[in-house]
Amino acid sequence: MAQKIAFQGEPGANSDIACKQMYPSLESVPCASFEDAFELVSSGETDLAMIPIENSIAGRVADIHLLLPHSGLQIVGEFFLPIHFDLLGIPGSTIEGATEVHSHIHALGQCRKLIREAGLKPVIAGDTAGSAREVREWNDPTKLSLAPPLAAELYGLEVLASAVEDDPSNTTRFVVLARETELPARETLPGPAVTSFVFRVRNVPSALYKALGGFATNGVNMTRLESYMVGNEFAATMFMADVEGHPEDLPLRLALEELGFFTTELWILGVYPAADHRTQRAAASN
């Protein structure tokens, strides 16, 4: 049974909150970088890692498409976390008396309206919760932090404004990583499943169009497709995709077979249960 789960950031970060909500019985282990979190799982020091992969506003969060294929890890789950930021300061500070606001670059980008209206100078920090800790340590009323609500409690800061994110629907999708094993059989995932993979298309005309044709003709829903460059080769493009279904499902099996004709590399990153958030959102849109 899993005992520990690693995350990137400091205690009180959104990744920490995601760990506590999805796995309340596990010990959350903070890491300075995504690579460090990967290493803790690879070495067996933790059983799992919680990694943010995309945000509904900011887009891609982690370079998991680069880190995962050769890491010896695989995706075993996903979690969607609504993102809320509070404006925090040391006791006695005020918004009117502040000049700077510190946070992760994504948090600053997701709270532009407040920053502009308050006339604050945004200062990039390595982590949202880390910026709260620094504001506490500086003990300077002119410096504020944008951080998750848990950070105020952990670092003894006052909440000057709550839920200051520009978009109330702001959500981050996390993936859960474990050491690589055989992909789960279909009978072990009786409900809706998600398959994540990366691939490189052949360098021929219309290769991507042809590679994706099998998903359309077999009725497989592709929920994510993102391209990225490999090294310094402008001609070598990789793609990361999420699709609904299990590779043993006939439609996805046929689509992956067709994909193989037009690709030079293909890695299945994981097959895992679809989160309730995904299925509820699909039901609401129908």
List active site positions. Answer: 172, 174
CA distance 95 to 146: 12
Give counts: helices (H), strands (E), the chain: 10, 15
CA angle 279, 80, 54 (to 5 degrees): 110
Upper half-sphere CA count for residue 143 (Cβ side, 13 Å): 15
C-alpha Rg value of the chain to the nearest Å: 21
Beta-strand ranges (E) seen in the chain are 4-8, 27-31, 48-55, 59-60, 73-82, 86-89, 100-103, 121-124, 143-147, 158-161, 171-179, 193-201, 222-230, 233-244, 263-273
Angle at 224 between CA 223 and CA 226, to 5 degrees: 165
